[in-house]
Chain A
Amino acid sequence: DAKTTQPTSMDCAEGRAANLPCNHSTISGNEYVYWYRQIHSQGPQYIIHGLKNNETNEMASLIITEDRKSSTLILPHATLRDTAVYYCIVRVVTGGFKTIFGAGTRLFVKA
């Protein structure tokens, strides 16, 4: 699976958009970009995934660059409960897939 690079930590004001970047310059054509988050003392939670088109769901939006070498997770209106570690992962979706976690970005949402 391709490696990803994320900032170690970020701050965001409550009610503002949180934009979390991720670099995955060695991504393969058959690898998808996945985002998970881990709130303190809980197991990771799936957020969103995409291949090359931008994606949106009730939690977040995912913007993938045209060359697919980077992406941005957007939390449109961050709340205090969004304080967590966010993991950007690239992996295949067929066959024996497995998720390898990097260090992630620790997002602090402040009142």
Chain B
Amino acid sequence: SAVISQKPSRDICQRGTSLTIQCQVDSQVTMMFWYRQQPGQSLTLIATANQGSEATYESGFVIDKFPISRPNLTFSTLTVSNMSPEDSSIYLCSAGQGQGSYNEQFFGPGTRLTVL
């Protein structure tokens, strides 16, 4: 299994600023993902972080608002840009690995973001 850590674990930010969240995996993984979980809601996939190329964003999410980097097979960052109170959520990093049917996806503990 893969162990995922995220920094920061939580932050309180002012409207209009940006926050970069770091995700570190303890082993090389093929896939990395970023999710958002608003209070009391399920997880929503923001994007797939592709190593060495631009991230693949889901409908409703754009690169200008959520720029993502993945410089290698164990690390990724998500930036929440020009924040507003509506961006207050838990942001979760996820990593996937495996072959064939044995295919697991692991999740980090999340970053709790509050925007004032």
Interface residues of chain A, those whose CB is within 8 Å of chain B, are 32, 38, 42-46, 49, 51, 85, 87, 93-94, 96-104
What are 20 sample pairs from A and B whose C-beta atoms fall under 8 A apart? A32-B103, A42-B110, A43-B4, A43-B107, A44-B43, A45-B107, A46-B105, A46-B106, A85-B42, A87-B42, A93-B101, A93-B103, A97-B105, A99-B33, A99-B45, A99-B94, A99-B96, A99-B105, A101-B45, A104-B42
What chain A residues lie within 8 Å of B31 (beta carbons)? Answer: 96-98
Q: How many residues of B contact A (CB 8 A)?
A: 24
Across the A-B interface, how many residue pairs have beta carbons closer than 8 Å? 54
Contact pick for B109, options A42, A46, A97, A103, CB 8 Å? A42
Would B100 and A94 count as touching, CB distance under 8 A? Answer: yes
What chain B residues lie within 8 Å of A42 (beta carbons)? Answer: 109-110
From DSSP, what is the main secondary structure of chain A's interface residues?
A: loop
Chain B proximity of A85: nearest CB distance (Å): 8
Separation of A36 and B104 alpha carbons in the complex (Å): 10
Would A103 and B96 count as touching, CB distance under 8 A? Answer: no
Quick one: given A51-B101, A93-B100, are A100 and B107 in contact (CB under 8 Å)? no
Instruction: With A32-B101, A43-B107, A101-B35 given, name 19 new contacts (CB 8 A).
Output: A38-B43, A43-B4, A43-B109, A44-B43, A44-B92, A51-B101, A93-B101, A94-B100, A97-B31, A97-B96, A98-B33, A98-B48, A99-B33, A99-B94, A99-B105, A100-B45, A101-B42, A101-B44, A104-B42
Separation of A71 and B42 alpha carbons in the complex (Å): 20
Interface residues of chain B, those whose CB is within 8 Å of chain A, are 4, 31, 33, 35, 42-45, 48, 56, 92, 94, 96, 98, 100-101, 103-110
Contact pick for A44, options B44, B98, B100, B107, CB 8 Å? B107
What chain A residues lie within 8 Å of B110 (beta carbons)? Answer: 42-43
Chain A proximity of B40: nearest CB distance (Å): 10
Separation of A87 and B45 alpha carbons in the complex (Å): 14
Would B100 and A103 count as touching, CB distance under 8 A? Answer: no
Contact pick for B43, options A45, A46, A94, A101, CB 8 Å? A101
